[in-house]
Structure 1
Amino acid sequence: MRPLIVFSDVTLDGFMTGPDNDLGFMVDDPQLAAEVTGELMAVADTMLWGRTSFTPSGAYWTAAEGELADWMNRTPKVVLSSDSDFDVSSWANSTLAAGDGVDHVRRLKDTTGGSLVVFGGAKTVRSLVAADLVDEYWIKLNPAIVGHGGSMFTDVTDPRSLTLRTARPYPSGTVALIYSARS
């Protein structure tokens, strides 16, 4: 079974996005990006995106350069959307999975290959967390408090214990955390 990784920036008060989906709290940390995304590129071979986060991310990465941009552009992307007419052709190697995203991810996990990584958005991540499909949380904890916004844990109804695998602080004030959801 393929592991599912959630890779997300989070504020100290636990939000993936600030009010009105604002991402201004994210701290740019080149050292963290190089180390953690390098580790992610070594294990993940398929990305999962929600429809709302797919478009701006695709516009950014198709114009970006460097090793991470190359990986983002060449790695297969699956866009989870209830809209069967959503066009994913603007970002290379993207396919649309219209309908029930949770069921589609369950089927993907049962295939062979490397890890699946979901980058966003908050609604997509929430649905996968609520369905207990996440195996690992790769969190970039940002030194910010936003008060309210989009949380990945809003729809969790049963408490879950996680196992801390790594915690690495960086000079920028960010902390890279990796938790296993499965013992």
Structure 2
Amino acid sequence: MRKLVYFVAVTLDGFIAGPDGGDPSGAEFFPITPDLIEFIVANYPETLPGPARDAMGIAGEGRHFDTVIEGRASYDLGLAAGLADAYPHLRHLVVSTSLAGRDDLPVEVVPADPLARARELKAEDGLDIWLVGGGTLAHALLPEIDQLVLKVNPSVIGSGIPLFAGEFTQARFTPVGQVDLAGGVRVVTLDRTS
């Protein structure tokens, strides 16, 4: 069975974006350093947006993921950059009630019950499913998240979009791997234990 993997950058105090919810990529608290790019290209090249892959000459199927799922706010970041499908090399799903019924988009819109849709995806054949964000969707999908791959940045920002945004819910994950990058990012992999 496929795994649902939350692969995301996070601050030490548990935020995936600043208070404005804007694109955190390259922000002072999420610097994109050469060693981080090298790690992503070597290990998770399918998580790079299509234009970045094209610029770097990266082609082919993913190593870990063949599907990406994200919330509307995360999808809007790509739209603001002029990308109706930031990940054309992956099957791309967007959870959104406001996009329901739109058939002009190059993505699959999930208008309701993302948890049920995640369960369906996990039952299909294929590589794992990448949950790109955001925090509200991650909280909704928490019962089905099998693994966390956290790019922990050595920054504290005090407020913003939390890793999981929602009511109190408990889940346990066990660390199974860690890579410390020279630029300060620590990539921590945790598998679900309950």
Q: Same fold (TM over 0.5)?
A: yes
**3-state SS, counterpart of residue 20 of structure 2:** helix
Gaps of 5+ in 2: 45-61
Runs of 4+ in 1 over 6 A off after TM superposition: none
Q: What is the aligned-residue RMSD (CA, Å)?
A: 2.5
User: How far apart are residue 45 of structure 1 and its match?
Assistant: 0.6
> 2:34 matched to 1:30?
yes
User: Superposition pairs for residues 84-103 of structure 1, below 5 Å?
Assistant: 84-86=100-102, 89=105, 92=106, 94-103=107-116
Equivalent residue number for residue 116 of structure 1 = 129
Q: Cα 1:96–1:159, aligned 2, differ >3 Å: closer, same or farther?
A: closer
1:171 partner SS: coil
In 2, Cα distance between equivalents of 1:31 and 1:156: 36
Residue 188 of structure 2 aligns with which residue? 177
Counterpart contact for 1:88–1:96, Cα < 8 Å: no
Deviations 1:154-178 (A, max 9, x none): 4363433312121111121111111
1:126 and 1:30 mapped to 2: Cα distance? 31
- Please identify, of 19-28 and 46-55, the stretch whose mean Cα deviation from structure 2 is larger: 19-28
Match of 2:56 in 1: none
Which amino acid in the other structure matches residue 122 of structure 1? G
When structure 1 is superposed on structure 2, of 22-31 and 2-11 the one drifting more is 22-31
Q: 1:52 to 1:154 in 2, by over 3 A?
A: closer
State the TM-score, normalized to the length of structure 1. 0.81
Write out per-residue CA displacement over residues 118-166 of structure 1, whole angstroms, 9 at most, x where no aligned residue. Answer: 111222122112xx11011011111111111111234363433312121
Provide the residue aligned with 1:56 in structure 2: 77
The runs of 5 or more residues in structure 1 that have no matched partner are: 64-68
Specify which of 97, 103, 111 is matched with residue 82 of structure 1: 97
Q: Which residue in the other structure is 2:19 paired with?
A: 19
Alignment CA distance shift 1:88-1:180 (3 Å): farther
Distance 2:127 2:3 in 1: 8
Identity %: 26
The structure carrying a bigger helix percent of its residues is 1
